[in-house]
Amino acid sequence: MRIAVVALGKIGLPLAVQFADAGHEVVGVDVNAQLVETVNRGVEPFPGEAQLAEKLAELVPAGRLRATTDYGEAVPGADAVVLVVPLFVDEATGQPDFGWMDQATASLAEHLTPGTLVSYETTLPVGTTRGRWKPMLERGSGLTEGAEDGFHLVFSPERVLTGRVFADLRAYPKLVGGLSEVGAAAAVAFYEAVLTFEDRADLPRPNGVWDMGSAEAAEMAKLAETTYRDVNIGLANQFAVFADQVGIDVQKVIEACNSQPYSHIHQPGIAVGGHCIPVYPRLYLATDPEATVVRQARAANAVMPGYAVARVASVLGDLAGLRVAVLGASYRGKVKETAFSGVFDTVEALRERGAEVAVHDPMYTDEELAGYGWTPYHLGEPVDAALLQADHPEYAALTPADLPGIRLLLDGRRTTDPAAWAGTPRLTIGGGELPVGDRGTEGATAATAP
């Protein structure tokens, strides 16, 4: 097959590589000319994705994968077009911002030719494929969706994590939802031709491509699986806040609960970041505004950076003039990405209390950190306190000697070794390290915030 992949980001590029590796001719299209040039040299444009560099170095010179900025070069004559353009959420209103996706859809429609299968993999509010993309594609192309001389449109959500895309593609069923039975069948045949799946005895049916029966069901499935995680983490964070109030280590509680097979409590922490977990609940709320549980969980998770800073202040008192290091700009360990990272709210909460804040991240240069408006921090420089925000593996071996003068570490991810911090105050989220009687009014107030 000839396949076009629209948007060569941290999901789209590995998908394009996967399709080419399965023996198909793939053309990727992206508006970023520098990224396109890098891909066409067979070089990975971003670090951290397992096997991506090796596969690019093989597939590009072999002529099985190339990139372009021109939709007119990528889309006409393609058997399938897979679109993975980012969808953003307006911070103020919580509503989806379709700007980039609308532009990509218009460009795709302009060059769409009969017989093409179009698959949207970007997570969408329920009803978007049928109610937004179908009419836009039909108007822009002059073709009719589902007609014999038209095109087929489906939704098939990506279900992978950056850093392990190729492994996740094998591990999880590929969900597809069409606007017709014929379109769904075409999508099933397409994905069966480009993906391979591991055997999984734990699934209710064989691992592979699963037809969800409609685009709306596939859209909801992706929103539901991610919203579940946000709600679960929100519950874990509320348990953690209470555990801090009463002097209990919530980790022991969670381990005990999860020893019974019907409990699956997630881990609490300083922040919930990334393109998925903090975003998709808002997409769900955009079409189900009465989902009060979802809304409250999102609110509970959003206040955790402020809660962590309040815990530091409950021990050290006034933070004005203190030098505080935030360890980790990324939203999670081993990923060079700051999308909705807790670093932003953590830095802001510290600055509001008058602290002199510096940020460290082993994956970012000083210039990159400065570009966000932060003062870069280097291990070995004196600090009064530190908050560990991202669980980079490099932080697991941290000791007080790495942070000279440190009076308190708040490990927001339970990454450091408690034994290495004997003699230096170390707090965690839900660790219950401070006895109830030692809590100041400020810390108690923050503890009830979620």
Residue keyed to tokens 């609490």? 268
Any domain includes 99:
yes
Question: Crossing angle of helices 215-246/250-258, nearest 10°?
Answer: 130
Name the stretches of the chain with pLDDT < 50.
Answer: 435-450
Encoding tokens for residue 142?
A: 């002059």
Looking at the fold, whether 249 and 180 belong to one and the same domain comes out as no
pLDDT the model gives residue 90: 83
Any domain includes 224:
no
Looking at the fold, whether 167 and 99 belong to one and the same domain comes out as yes
Cβ neighbourhood burial of 7 (10 Å; 0-12, 13-18, 19+): buried
Any domain includes 317:
yes
Looking at the fold, whether 398 and 256 belong to one and the same domain comes out as yes
In this structure, the number of other CB atoms found within 10 A of the CB of residue 176 comes to: 26
Any domain includes 222:
no
Looking at the fold, whether 398 and 331 belong to one and the same domain comes out as yes
Residue keyed to tokens 């494929």? 129
pLDDT the model gives residue 275: 86
Residue keyed to tokens 């570009």? 371
Residue keyed to tokens 């839900």? 430
Any domain includes 236:
yes
Looking at the fold, whether 197 and 271 belong to one and the same domain comes out as no
Query: Could you give the number of structural domains in the chain?
Result: 2
The domain in which residue 395 lies consists of 229-450
Looking at the fold, whether 73 and 99 belong to one and the same domain comes out as yes
| Structural domain ending residue among the three candidates 158, 183, 213 | 213
Looking at the fold, whether 264 and 401 belong to one and the same domain comes out as yes
Query: What would the pLDDT profile of 209-231 be if each residue is shown by its tens digit?
Result: 999 999 999 999 999 999 999 99
Looking at the fold, whether 168 and 254 belong to one and the same domain comes out as no
pTM equals: 0.89
In this structure, the number of other CB atoms found within 10 A of the CB of residue 422 comes to: 9
Which has the closest alpha carbon to 302: 49, 91, 29, 32?
A: 91
Any domain includes 428:
yes
| Structural domain ending residue among the three candidates 213, 244, 275 | 213
Any domain includes 205:
yes
Q: Dmax over Cα atoms in the chain, in whole Å? A: 75
| Structural domain ending residue among the three candidates 213, 246, 280 | 213
> What is the Cα Rg of the chain in Å?
24
Any domain includes 221:
no
pLDDT the model gives residue 444: 36
Please state, in angstroms and rounded to a whole number, the distance separating the CA atoms of residues 140 and 179: 18
What CATH number corresponds to the domain at position 187? 3.40.50.720
Contact (CB, 8 A) for 283 and 270:
no
Integer CA distances (angstroms), 206 to 172, 190, 201, 389, in order: 11, 18, 8, 39
Looking at the fold, whether 180 and 317 belong to one and the same domain comes out as no
Looking at the fold, whether 409 and 316 belong to one and the same domain comes out as yes
pLDDT the model gives residue 271: 97
Looking at the fold, whether 317 and 203 belong to one and the same domain comes out as no
Looking at the fold, whether 131 and 160 belong to one and the same domain comes out as yes
Contact (CB, 8 A) for 127 and 216:
yes
Contact (CB, 8 A) for 161 and 191:
no
